[in-house]
Structure 1
Amino acid sequence: MSGSICLRCLARPAVSSVEQKTLRITAQSAAAFSTSASLEANSAVKKKTTSVVKPGRGANASFSKAQGQIRKGQPGARTGKPPGEGERKAIRKRVVLSNTNAVEVQGLDNLSATNIDDAAIEGQVLGLSNEVIDALRATEAFKPTQGWSLFRRPATLVRKETAELARLMQEIESKKTSVRRVIYGERGSGKSVLALQAKAMALLKGWIVVHIPESKELVLGSTPYAPSTEAGIYNQPHFTAAMLGQIAKANHTVLSTMRLSQKHDLSVPIQSNISLDRFAMMGAQDPDLACEIYKALWSELTAPSAEGAGLARPPVVFTIDSVAHIMRDSAYMNPDVQPIHAHDLAIVNHFFKLLSGKQALPNGGMIFAADSGSNRPTIAGFDHAIRRNAALAQNKQAPEWDPWVKVDQRSIAALNGVDVWQLKGLTREEARSIMEYYAKSGMLRQTVNDTLVAEKWTLSGGGIIGELEKGAVKTRI
């Protein structure tokens, strides 16, 4: 009897398949040294059900985490008012031209119509009057990346290239000639500021100033466009209206004294003796009329100057910044769903006609296209045209482009016969002058001597004004 009992105790117990599965899962989950997940789901454990929280009333009602929303009051929840339309862009483009913490430089003279042609101002720092500042601000000539916000009021260094501009303006006024150039150079070499100086001197002389601050905005496809009356050319009505508004505000003093001298076939009746100021504002207020008024306005500005009240026509300065962006296809599409080349946009097409000399300036003027070193696409055709024109100006053999690189022939042809102007660093004397201005403004806490000037001039890559400003003013150790 005892033998049968012992044999029965030692025998393997009969366990069902369900019990075997449960025991195996329990053993796996209880393993002390195992970090792997269970191979099979535990059917005995019920899944947790997520409760859906219904949104409450009002626009600020919070949703549950299961819906991927952040509850109100939790870290990361938005508590302020979202930015309005165009608010981010306005903040990004906001330009500050005064620093109340900076020391006002005593004895700082302004750039004026009387001292522009004086050779003694070369190498000096001169301020800008309020009237010139307002006109330049209307054309968006100041850039947020420039160091205007570091000083008490805007001032600029009259470098040797600025003196060259003053000499060219004298020649334009006496001989009614025109200057067409592409300004290029290293990043921070002062290309945009040189174009700003040209516009400032033109305003002081009573010339007409037109400026496109960012050519990239013409080709991004962010503004409406439509075919024009000219075959293959497309208008941008809203951009043209904004540009007419800038022209009217910046040149109000001059345009208000000028009136229409020609008859124009417009879609609306126009007063025959209307001032060009009011004429430009009509296009600025109505995008449907902007393109035809823009064309008529340029016809008036480039008409020969005549005797009589309001018939005098001064020279014109037309500048554009970041010109490399308009040397390629734009983001716009034609009816065949093909990209429209930037030169087929009406404003860009008009600018290159002026730059290449196809459209004359009977009263003289300056057409400047400034390149950008900080925000610039790589355009093989444009780069080749710059090298070619620079070599021809020095009586050297023009370089040949790489046959394996795709080159835009329209970009090369647009610069045929156009002068190029390379900006390099400041001289040591010019660097010393601008550093003394930094010290007088309280932004440079070191004594300006030959040793400091030589050090900063060398570290700035040979007097690159942007790097010099960074090393002397913006950098704090």
Structure 2
Amino acid sequence: MATLSRRVPRALLQKGPVQLRTYASPSSFKRRTGIRDGDGTSDVPGEQPTGRRRRDTAFLPMPTSQLTHLLFQPDHLSRLTLQPFHPETITPAVVSQALKFPHNDKDPFRIFGLPRNLLVEFRILSAPCSVVRNVTIDVVNRLDTASQASSANHRLVFTGATGCGKSVLLLQALQYCHARDWIVFYFPRAVNLVNSTTTYAYDVRTRLYQQATFAFQTLQRFLTVNSHRLDQLKTTVDVELERRATIPVGTPLSDLVRAGIKERALAPTILMALMEELQKQTEFPVLLAVDDFQAIYCKTKYRDPQFSTIKPYHLSMPRLLLEFASGQRQFARGAVLGALSTTNVEFRLPLELAEALGVPPVSYDGPYIKRSSTLQTYSKGLERVIVPDALTVQEAMEVFDLWSKDNAMPSAPTDELFLSKYSESCGNARDFVWKGLLASLSI
């Protein structure tokens, strides 16, 4: 007991029996586990250092030569033969049929980006495609009319239940206009304009908070998609820049955009000058498409120096979109399209926009609830386009056939499987795919 008391504190001996444990030395532990030091050296005697750090990555890509299983053979891709999504094929004859978007490095959805759910779907499918619906034909016909009229008369907002296909319809309209030789703008995630993820700085001249980084990225993507059209348009007035620099009259709009890309601080000024030139020109119709449209009407995450919330119309990018949505700015030829989203609960449909569109509000709308007169002004004149909440049986059958031919479903396609998944999802497009056909996949 005397020996034990010298090793263990007396307070522990008074509480009861003590269990003594011995631990392996660091070198013994590393020998048994194979763990090395961070620099690639080892404490195990007689073992040579590796000279480089070991990669403990769980998932590494396999060489193509080892993918010999039939599952990885490309023969199943040949069965997914679809007609191309081309303006000449968008007729009532192709309703309830799937069409494949063209594979081009300058396609708008490849450059501007996609909503998150569509991005994942296109990565799973062997080719990006969508099903043409009756509402697609209606929107296309209205765009044909808008190509010869002012955008003030064609400001459409797609509404409907969650997952009914509003973003897909907006993408179809974007691809149609791009193929019809329109100049196109596309904002697939307008939430990023107001969630305080980009830099901003107050501009005394405009009395707005300029978002130079987002304007810079917008100019880059816009030039990539529309470069061959911008080469044919020229400035009609001198564009005054900082440091007493001026872009003279007659400069191609492509060179004007490159000036904003060359110096990021000038991007907001160049973007405003570009939009003013596009408003006046009549050679090409212009499409402005905004997904998460309700976000530019919501409270932002940005803060001023007093830590007060900045209104969306005090930020340069949302302000620009709001002016076109309200008709205060308008293209001589073109249209403004928006799609509501209910995925992000932080940016829900505001009351002012809901009342302007005739949509049931998501919050209490009593007569004593305060409304913003500014947001009501920016909401005037918007026209609602209702997207059906459910797919028809023919449309759902085409979606089912599309995923089964692409070997994306883990089970064999049968009529019973189709009817069960269609009934479970109540025909909702997103639920039919993600909670039905792909429910057992780990993505």
Q: Give the TM interval when normalised to the shorter protein.
A: 0.7 to 0.9
Which whole-Å CA distance do the structure 2 matches of 1:329 and 1:400 have between them?
17
* Cα deviation, residue 59, structure 1: 9.3
What one-letter code is carried by the residue in structure 1 that aligns with 2:252?
S
Residue 52 of structure 1: aligned partner: none
| SS of corresponding position for 2:302 | strand
Which whole-Å CA distance do the structure 1 matches of 2:370 and 2:150 have between them?
40
What one-letter code is carried by the residue in structure 2 that aligns with 1:276?
L
Q: How does 1:358-397 map to 2 (within 5 A)?
A: 358-365=328-335, 367-377=336-346, 379=348, 382-391=349-358
Residue 317 of structure 1: aligned partner: 287
Q: Report whether the alignment pairs 1:29 with 2:13.
A: yes
* Cα deviation, residue 441, structure 1: 1.9
Which whole-Å CA distance do the structure 1 matches of 2:170 and 2:148 have between them?
22
Q: Report whether the alignment pairs 1:285 with 2:292.
A: no
Which whole-Å CA distance do the structure 1 matches of 2:439 and 2:299 have between them?
39
* Cα deviation, residue 337, structure 1: 4.4
Residue 260 of structure 1: aligned partner: 235
Q: How does 1:36-51 map to 2 (within 5 A)?
A: none
Residue 429 of structure 1: aligned partner: 394
* Cα deviation, residue 125, structure 1: 0.4
More moved, 320-329 vs 197-206: 320-329
Which whole-Å CA distance do the structure 2 matches of 1:436 and 1:26 have between them?
77
RMSD: 3.6
Residue 196 of structure 2: aligned partner: 221
* Cα deviation, residue 262, structure 1: 3.1
Structure 1 vs Structure 2: percent identity of aligned residues?
20
What one-letter code is carried by the residue in structure 1 that aligns with 2:337?
F
Which structure carries more relative contact order (alpha carbon 8 Å, separation 6+)?
2
- Residue pair 1:102, 1:443 contacting (<8 A) in 2 also: no
Which whole-Å CA distance do the structure 2 matches of 1:259 and 1:282 have between them?
14
Residue 113 of structure 1: aligned partner: 87
Which whole-Å CA distance do the structure 1 matches of 2:374 and 2:88 have between them?
43
- Residue pair 1:384, 1:412 contacting (<8 A) in 2 also: no
Q: Report whether the alignment pairs 1:125 with 2:98.
A: yes
Which whole-Å CA distance do the structure 2 matches of 1:250 and 1:28 have between them?
76
What one-letter code is carried by the residue in structure 2 that aligns with 1:474?
L
Residue 278 of structure 2: aligned partner: 301
Higher Cα radius of gyration: 1
- The unaligned stretches of length 5 or more in structure 1 are 1-24, 36-57, 63-72, 83-98, 306-311
- The unaligned stretches of length 5 or more in structure 2 are 1-8, 19-36, 42-48, 58-72
- Residue pair 1:428, 1:453 contacting (<8 A) in 2 also: no
Q: Report whether the alignment pairs 1:237 with 2:212.
A: yes
* Cα deviation, residue 285, structure 1: 2.4
| SS of corresponding position for 1:317 | strand
* Cα deviation, residue 318, structure 1: 1.1
- Residue pair 1:132, 1:203 contacting (<8 A) in 2 also: no
Which whole-Å CA distance do the structure 2 matches of 1:261 and 1:226 have between them?
29
Residue 6 of structure 1: aligned partner: none
* Cα deviation, residue 253, structure 1: 2.7
Pairs aligned (count): 384
Residue 403 of structure 2: aligned partner: 438
* Cα deviation, residue 150, structure 1: 2.0
Which whole-Å CA distance do the structure 1 matches of 2:148 and 2:246 have between them?
38
Which whole-Å CA distance do the structure 1 matches of 2:303 and 2:11 have between them?
68
- Residue pair 2:40, 2:54 contacting (<8 A) in 1 also: no
Q: How does 1:78-117 map to 2 (within 5 A)?
A: 103-116=77-90
| SS of corresponding position for 2:384 | strand
For residues 305-345 of structure 1, give each alpha carbon's deviation from its aligned partner in whole angstroms, at most 9, with x where no partner exists: 2xxxxxx2x11111222234333333333355432111211
> Which of residues 148, 169, 176 is equivalent to 2:143?
169
* Cα deviation, residue 369, structure 1: 2.5
Q: Report whether the alignment pairs 1:189 with 2:164.
A: yes
Normalising by structure 2, we get a TM-score of 0.75
- Residue pair 2:108, 2:186 contacting (<8 A) in 1 also: no
* Cα deviation, residue 250, structure 1: 1.4
Which whole-Å CA distance do the structure 2 matches of 1:60 and 1:378 have between them?
47
> Which of residues 111, 115, 134 is equivalent to 1:138?
111
- Residue pair 1:189, 1:466 contacting (<8 A) in 2 also: yes
Which whole-Å CA distance do the structure 1 matches of 2:39 and 2:377 have between them?
58
* Cα deviation, residue 452, structure 1: 4.3
Q: 1:304 to 1:31 in 2, by over 3 A?
A: closer
Q: How does 1:65-84 map to 2 (within 5 A)?
A: none
* Cα deviation, residue 304, structure 1: 3.9
| SS of corresponding position for 1:120 | helix
| SS of corresponding position for 1:302 | helix
Which whole-Å CA distance do the structure 1 matches of 2:311 and 2:11 have between them?
72
